[in-house]
Structure 1
Amino acid sequence: MTTTTPGVSGTSQETEPAQTEQATPAPEPTAPPSDASGLTHRLATLDRLVELGDGRVDQALMDDAAELLGRAGQRLRLSGDHTIVALAGGTGSGKSSLFNAVCGLELSPTGLRRPMTSSAHACVWGLDGAGPLLDWLEIDKRHRYARASALDQKTGGDGGSLEGLILLDLPDHDSIRSEQVAEVDKYVGVADLLIWVLDPQKYADFAVHRRYLEPLAGHDGVSLIVLNQVDRLAPEEIDECVKDLRRLLEAEGLRAPRILTTSAKSGAGIDDFREVIADTVAARRARTQRLVADLDRLIQRFEGAFGDIEPPTTVDAKRTAGLVEALVDAAGIPAVAEAMESAYGLRALDYVGWPLTRLAARLRSDPLRRMRLGELRDELRSAFTAPVNAQQAHIDNALQDVAEDVVRDLPPSWRKSVREAGRSNAEALPEALGTSLRDVVPAFNQVPAWWWAVRIWQYLLLVVAAVSLVWLGAIGAFAGLKLAHAPTRLLGEAGVAPYVALVFACVLGLGALTALAARNMISLTAVKHSERMEQQMREGVTTAARELVIEPIEQELAVYARFRDEAGHAIRDVAP
């Protein structure tokens, strides 16, 4: 003997609560149907598409895909032995009457006032494993009913068993209360089998067709249209209504809509209606079919998210070289190299120039020299301690040019993502260019060994010249002016003076010739050093360009290639 549902009046003794105060033990995992593995594979593909397309593809599509993945994961984890069948319709369509007719009891209130069904009601055939599913559906415990007697396992007559059925009576979709409309939308999205109950007067209502029936395109196998209250029509009028309704549904994308005619008042068509439900429950496939239909419809929206043309996977050498040249110009590397060449030459003269010539030059005021010399290493390194003074406009143009060449054949959303990838490190690029230049500078402060050799040689010559000059002075004092007795003949004889003067002149000439030869050598080495330093700076810029611009673009292209491949496979898997 069964019990009545607490808090619900007008129920018979054949009903019992679907949820008691005692906790219902969690059901054992249900074996998936034969096609569930294919669904699982397709859901995994969709998950990868969401991961790859997030932030790149239309956000509304990504949100809908994430919602479907979440819903599918929850539904597949819950009982597969139960089929959720939802009865939806407008006020006065008779869906609650059909609900009661299938249940065999007056469980849901009926009437014409709006709204009649204020909350979803559920009747369950077979309680094992239904508790978590009802909790997921968020059915109020006051509106849960169970058919538990042995006679309730059959539809009656020769009909099939309803064991495993969760039948929902939804609120009116045209309710004036927004929370009830939202509740309808929620259950319409999760029901395994969706039954729309229409009446002869409002079966062509624009609101229900546009909001609910048009989105059923592709859901023929998991949707049923019931034209109720046909007792109000003559037989020929029923045929006309069915033909017109079928025409509307086919125009809205339902290729083979299933339409039944019923009358809860007279009982016409009720047995056929219950038999359709029983067949669906017995097949245990509605859960998977609904998810497959939802997945097919969603996947078709990915067709515009990728292009037909095979995308590039790398930025070719020509585009990379163009970017590097643009960044080299933006950083002013040729001008820096020229300035370094000039400064190198001036610094070299401090080592290899004839000291007498340098002394004479320093006695003259030379602002340019004072400005360009000094401690070269400190000056140049301090110039690059902050980000290089590259013109941001030139950098922006360079980044835009390299991206535009690559994204020409990509869909609009992926063009944007590739451009953004190319510009993702735009703020760090000036600092990276400055580092590329700064790291090269210390090499210019190095002093070649031959500079020191020439400098020592020049000072030796200068010492010899000084000794010769003192010698000549001593000869003049001892031999010419007879100021004292010469300690040696080399200082006391005037005939030695021409030889000493010749030595002095030769030393000065040799020093000048050495300075001239060193100057010519410096001119050659300054150019080589400048070219080598410019090449090193270019290599640094190339590294920065590849790490900060080229690699992000190529990574984004790789993501697009994977997305395109995954989406193509997913679309080919859509049921024809």
Structure 2
Amino acid sequence: MAAMTAVTDEDQGNDSGTRKADGRWDDGLIARRAAAAATRGTAEPVPRAPADDDPAPQVEAYAPADGPLPTRLDALRELVGLSRARLDRDTLAEAGRVLDEAAARQRLSSRHTVIAVAGATGSGKSTLFNALAGATISDTGLRRPTTSQPIACSWTDGAAGLLDRLAVPGRLRRRPHPGPAASDEALQGLVLVDLPDHDSAATEHRAQVDRVLALVDAVIWVVDPEKYADAALHERYLRPLAGHAEVTFVVLNQTDRLPGEAADLVLDDLRRLLDEDGIAVGEHGEPGATVMSLSALTGDGVPELRELLGRFVQDRTAATRRLSADVDAAAARLRPVYVAGGRAGLGERARDAFTDRLAEAVGAAAAGQAAEREWRRNASRACGTPWLRLWRWYENRGLPGSLDRMGQALTPPEEELTARQRVEQAVRTVADDAAEGLPGPWAQAVREAAFTGAEGLPEALDDLAVRAGAPGAGKRGGETETETGRDTGAGAQPGGARPAKPPRPKWWPVAVLAQASMTLLQIFGGLWLVGQIVGVLEPGLVTPALIMLAGVVGGPLVEWACAAAIRGPARRYGQDAERRLREAAAGCGRARVLDPVAAELARYREVRERYVTVTKFSTTGR
């Protein structure tokens, strides 16, 4: 057969090239370029209408279909962008490669379909490549490996960009031999690439196979009766590319070596192996890989393969299907970092439990009890008998501060550590609850957000406790004292300010007046009796004794009645103080811990929605 010419944008003819004595290929291109340059240098350019046999190359940019692929690529691009700060570079490397290759393919011609012919040593792939091209383009023979670099054959012009992307040298770009193969209208747009052996002993050959297989639109795997079950083929290529079944052809070659019905038996066994690899075989009109047998040497079955390739090329969806399969594969690899078994989120029960733990750590209940005691103490001061108040003053006059302050001074340092540990336990528990059901990287991001926000939380809660006057709080400063040296109690203000006294009921002045009246009765009755004893007044013990007894009995009765009346308001005041401190602690914990955790969960839900969009229109069911 005649030698093939290299495919270039300038050379559209079918002139046969010649090989020089030194072995270098010469198709006349360099000479024509030199002549054209000399002509331009000596004369003005003359417009030349393209001849019928020298058409200008036409390159049609890739026009993506209106299907789901553009939406999936956009979602995958957003998914990668949102995940860069949470996932390592290696995890996103494959998705980034798919996006880059998709963008590169979409910038190139959509009229061409690039199909690689791959196979093992001695499988006859180069022979099949030549049979499809109708000429001896790729060398065949007993020397192994025969093919050392990819060789391309393009049926139409405009494929230079695609071949540049595959890094096929210009000297290895060919056109089919003039004849039935070249003039087949169904094959117009086909770019066939013969690859080196995938099991070659040369490492660089295997590297070229792996590189080109990641870039072509479809693959024809050529197997022979001896090595069709080779583990290297199935484990390294067919099984990982099971999702690319719609752009895969598996051809059993060299059937002329099999006697009788042996070819059908081997073909059935090949289908069984493909099924075990997870490759769907396209039969009865169902999508999947094309599996057939032929003999490239005798030509038996080659026309049928050429017809299948013609329909495949004219469909012009190979590139889209290949990119969709690549997106499916990338999404399948990313599934462990976006999908987990449980349901992600932070429920109200976990939030309430976190608030309860913070309230316990800040001492909200103790602050409420202290506020209630302060209310009762103020009521006792206002409504109690003066003799009882005098006795209490006498008992406390030699003590340095109140009993509450003494309790704080005697509190062991371990109590503060216990409060800090309670805060840390609360943060750790809510982080674990929020991370439950999340994939590993996102669970770690949620925990980091919680622990980072919790830095300084114990100190902030301690400040809240100081403001509320909670017992045991304010060991680092901030306590205030009243003029009598007592603890400020509930409502204490930082910085030495006086505490806000509990509000007094409207009936307190009446109770104070009644208690003062009882005291005056006691004093009046006592003075009357003293006057009778010293003889200043007329004797008569009954009346002054009754008056004094009324004051003595009435004072405690008034105090008891006031104590009973203030029980409800004091309890409500303590509950309000506990609620305020609890809400303040909850607000502090929400701003420092819950809000950052919620932001991480919102980010995860956003990327999860993008991932669902990527996998929603999967063509492989992954």
| TM-score in terms of structure 2 length | 0.62
CA contact (8 A) 2:223 2:250 kept: yes
Equivalent residue, structure 2, for 1:292: 324
Q: Which residue among 85, 90, 99 is the counterpart of 2:120?
A: 90
Q: Which residue among 546, 570, 573 is the counterpart of 2:590?
A: 546
Summarize deviations over 1:33-54 as a string: whole Å, max 9, x none.
Answer: 5x45421122233344545666
Instruction: Give secondary structure in 2 for the equivalent of 1:215.
Output: coil
Matches within 5 A, 1:114-513: 114-128=144-158, 130-131=160-161, 133-137=162-166, 139-141=167-169, 143-147=171-175, 155-156=180-181, 159-160=184-185, 162-252=187-277, 253-256=279-282, 257-299=289-331, 306=339, 311=343, 315-316=347-348, 318-334=349-365, 366-367=399-400, 372=405, 391-403=419-431, 410=437, 413=440, 416=443, 420=447, 423-424=450-451, 425-437=453-465, 444=492, 445-446=498-499
CA contact (8 A) 1:29 1:77 kept: no
In the aligned structure 2, how far is the partner of 1:26 from the partner of 1:157? 17
Could you tell me how far 1:171 is from its partner in structure 2? 2.3
Distance 1:315 1:129, change over 3 A: same
Could you tell me how far 1:298 is from its partner in structure 2? 4.8
Summarize deviations over 1:106-156 as a string: whole Å, max 9, x none.
Answer: 44444444444333333334442532x33332x153554142xxx857653
Instruction: Give secondary structure in 2 for the equivalent of 1:293.
Output: helix
In the aligned structure 1, how far is the partner of 2:18 from the partner of 2:424? 72
CA contact (8 A) 2:137 2:174 kept: no
Quick one: which amino acid aligns to residue 433 of structure 1? Answer: L
Could you tell me how far 1:64 is from its partner in structure 2? 3.4
Instruction: Give secondary structure in 2 for the equivalent of 1:203.
Output: coil
In the aligned structure 2, how far is the partner of 1:157 from the partner of 1:135? 22
Distance 1:68 1:269, change over 3 A: same
Quick one: which amino acid aligns to residue 287 of structure 1? Answer: A
Instruction: Give secondary structure in 1 for the equivalent of 2:193.
Output: strand
Summarize deviations over 1:474-527 as a string: whole Å, max 9, x none.
Answer: xxxxxxxxxxxxxxxxxxxxxxxxxxxxxxxxxxxxxxx9xxx9xx9x999999
The count of corresponding residues between Structure 1 and Structure 2 is: 504
Equivalent residue, structure 1, for 2:129: 99
Could you tell me how far 1:8 is from its partner in structure 2? 12
CA contact (8 A) 1:218 1:255 kept: no
In the aligned structure 1, how far is the partner of 2:280 from the partner of 2:23? 39
Q: What 5-or-longer segments of structure 1 have no aligned partner?
A: 380-387, 452-512
Instruction: Give secondary structure in 2 for the equivalent of 1:219.
Output: helix
Percent sequence identity over matched residues?
A: 33
Could you tell me how far 1:542 is from its partner in structure 2? 0.9
Could you tell me how far 1:207 is from its partner in structure 2? 1.2
- Cα RMSD after superposing both structures: 5.6
Equivalent residue, structure 2, for 1:32: 63
In the aligned structure 2, how far is the partner of 1:449 from the partner of 1:572? 63
CA contact (8 A) 2:113 2:191 kept: yes
Equivalent residue, structure 1, for 2:10: none
Instruction: Pick which of 287-296 and 156-165 moved more.
Output: 156-165
Could you tell me how far 1:98 is from its partner in structure 2? 2.9
Quick one: which amino acid aligns to residue 355 of structure 2? Answer: V
CA contact (8 A) 1:10 1:107 kept: no
Could you tell me how far 1:422 is from its partner in structure 2? 6.4
CA contact (8 A) 2:118 2:221 kept: yes
Quick one: which amino acid aligns to residue 617 of structure 2? Answer: D
Q: What 5-or-longer segments of structure 2 have no aligned partner?
A: 1-12, 37-55, 283-288, 381-385, 410-415, 470-489, 493-497, 505-554
Instruction: Pick which of 335-344 and 237-246 moved more.
Output: 335-344
Instruction: Give secondary structure in 2 for the equivalent of 1:194.
Output: strand
CA contact (8 A) 1:3 1:14 kept: yes
Quick one: which amino acid aligns to residue 320 of structure 1? Answer: R
More helix by share: 1
Could you tell me how far 1:224 is from its partner in structure 2? 0.8
Distance 1:123 1:439, change over 3 A: farther
Quick one: which amino acid aligns to residue 447 of structure 2? Answer: E
Could you tell me how far 1:394 is from its partner in structure 2? 2.1
Distance 1:165 1:156, change over 3 A: closer
Distance 1:345 1:245, change over 3 A: same
Instruction: Give secondary structure in 1 for the equivalent of 2:280.
Output: coil
CA contact (8 A) 1:5 1:145 kept: no
Instruction: Pick which of 439-448 and 227-236 moved more.
Output: 439-448
Quick one: which amino acid aligns to residue 283 of structure 1? Answer: D
Distance 1:396 1:112, change over 3 A: farther
Summarize deviations over 1:537-565 as a string: whole Å, max 9, x none.
Answer: 32221112222333334344444545555
In the aligned structure 2, how far is the partner of 1:163 from the partner of 1:391? 79
Distance 1:450 1:324, change over 3 A: closer
CA contact (8 A) 1:86 1:169 kept: yes
Distance 1:449 1:545, change over 3 A: closer
CA contact (8 A) 1:58 1:413 kept: no
| TM-score in terms of structure 1 length | 0.67
Equivalent residue, structure 2, for 1:500: none
